[in-house]
Amino acid sequence: MIKKLSITVFLLPLIMCDRASALPPPEDIPEEILRTEIILEGRSPIDGKPLSAAQYQELKTELAESINSPQINPDIQQLIFLLQLRKLLKTVIPFY
């Protein structure tokens, strides 16, 4: 009887602390509210500077219409193809 009482006395505060620590802090904004929040600012994909929504859209269209497409060295392009082919073969023939 004394053992059960002593175990209960020692474990009761631990159980009570776990319940209190499971709750989020009161200053946290619930996730449901954060999901409905409209984000009006963005960051530049080029240099990471903050942009307004209009500036972000303008930059996005400029990048999409860019005339300069990156040129890849043909040797590197062939190497990438061979690596992709090797990856495909490894999925089909795992012991290869």
Domain parsing of the chain, residue ranges: 2-92
Q: What is the average pLDDT across 34-60?
A: 84
The rounded distance, in Å, linking the Cα atoms of 59 and 21 is 45
Check whether 20 has a pLDDT greater than 60.
no
Segment (H or E) for 41: strand 41-43
Q: Determine the average pLDDT of the residues in 45-63.
A: 87
Question: So what's the pLDDT on residue 80?
Answer: 95
pTM across the whole model:
0.35
8 Å CB contact between 51 and 41: yes
What's the mean pLDDT in 54-72? 83
**What average pLDDT does the segment 64-86 reach?**
88
